[in-house]
Amino acid sequence: MHLGVLTRAPWLAWGRPVLARLWGMLMVLGLVSVLVFVLTRLAAGDPVALLLGDQASLQDIAQARARYGLDAPIVEQYLRWLGEVLQGHLGQSIFLQMPVHQVLLDRVEPTLSLALLAVGVAMLIGVPSGLAAAVWRGRWIDQWVSTLAMLGASMPSFWMGLLLIQLLAVGLGWFPVSGYGAPDASWAQRLHHLLLPALVLGMLNSALITRFTRAAMLDILGEDYIRTARAKGLPEVRVILLHALRNALVPILTVLGLTLALMIGGAVVTETVFNLPGLGNLVVRAVLRRDYPVIQGALLAIAGVYVLINGVIDLLYLWVDPRVRHG
């Protein structure tokens, strides 16, 4: 039976599991859309009252709510929004009076640049110090690195941010305090604005990379082939950098990838302290303004990216591992 399916039509063996996974992705997105919608509406607060200001009367607020369609029953509002999303529109920001997809696209660049730079910083700090801690295991350098990594992992980023702002931006004047430069700023100016926040984010995240590098290196340094390499009389530097580190890179790269993914959605505090117009900052401000379409659009987009990545990985498993395909 099993063989028969394969010989009859190979696409059938692929078709069903692929369809099942696509269906699963759609279901997850549908569920996310309901959750996001309900959660934003469950939170008290009113975007219109904030928009109209403190002097607006209750009657003004009621009229404006009707204009934005916020007085309709929640099911009706949801279906209207879902209809728009299915047609490819994420709606219109109540506060910014702009299409939500435009608002989101504007924020991708600062967030992505910050995340890449910060991962670079984290790698530059984390890999060498983890390496040193593993090579000189149990010595003073290992203890220092472990203590600093612990400190880094437990330090709040807003505090670290403010500290570095006072020291490097206000005190020494090396960096701008905040922002992303003027609208017409060159890429060099943008980079200048990103360096300090990237340093903060990178330093704090380097702790995890340090610990992973140390652990991975310790595992590999105990392997037989390292002993063999040493026995062959290879110089120690060569053994560590070429033989050990190269093999330790796989888990390190995995952690780097995870860190990058986390930073894209989670650099909220750093973006706020440095007043960077990124995605995290946008979501926080949208929540404070109760700008429902932006909150919904941003969360749905972020969830969509995660679902897509997971979906692609699932499909890759199908391709790589026949057991998954036929299981």
Positions that interact with another protein (CB under 8 A): 43-47, 49-61, 95-98, 103, 106, 162, 165-166, 169-170, 173, 176-180, 182-183, 272-275, 277, 281-282, 285, 288-290
In angstroms, what is the minimal distance from the CB of 292 to another protein? Answer: 11
Of the candidates 307, 264, 286, 306, the one whose C-alpha atom is nearest the C-alpha of residue 40 is: 286
Nearer to another protein among residue 7 and residue 57 (C-beta): 57
- How far separated are the first and last CA of the chain, in Å rounded? 14
Nearer to another protein among residue 28 and residue 49 (C-beta): 49
Nearer to another protein among residue 82 and residue 284 (C-beta): 284
In angstroms, what is the minimal distance from the CB of 76 to another protein? Answer: 20
Residue with tokens 């400190």: 151
In angstroms, what is the minimal distance from the CB of 167 to another protein? Answer: 11
Nearer to another protein among residue 181 and residue 304 (C-beta): 181
In angstroms, what is the minimal distance from the CB of 81 to another protein? Answer: 20
Partner residues linked to 99 by β-bridges: 92
Nearer to another protein among residue 243 and residue 289 (C-beta): 289
In angstroms, what is the minimal distance from the CB of 266 to another protein? Answer: 18
Nearer to another protein among residue 97 and residue 154 (C-beta): 97
For 221, how many CA atoms within 13 A lie in the half-sphere containing its CB? 19
Nearer to another protein among residue 173 and residue 233 (C-beta): 173
Give the count of beta carbons closer than 10 Å to the beta carbon of residue 7. Answer: 7
Q: Are 300 and 85 in contact (CB under 8 A)?
A: yes
One-character DSSP codes across 78-144? HHHHHHHHHTT---B-TTT-SBHHHHHHHHHHHHHHHHHHHHHHHHHHHHHHHHHHHHTTTSHHHHH
Q: Are 318 and 17 in contact (CB under 8 A)?
A: yes
Would you give the distance in Å from CA 126 to the centre of its chain? 19
In angstroms, what is the minimal distance from the CB of 51 to another protein? Answer: 5
In angstroms, what is the minimal distance from the CB of 80 to another protein? Answer: 20
202 Cβ contact list (under 8 Å, min separation 6): 117, 118, 119, 120, 121, 122, 124, 125
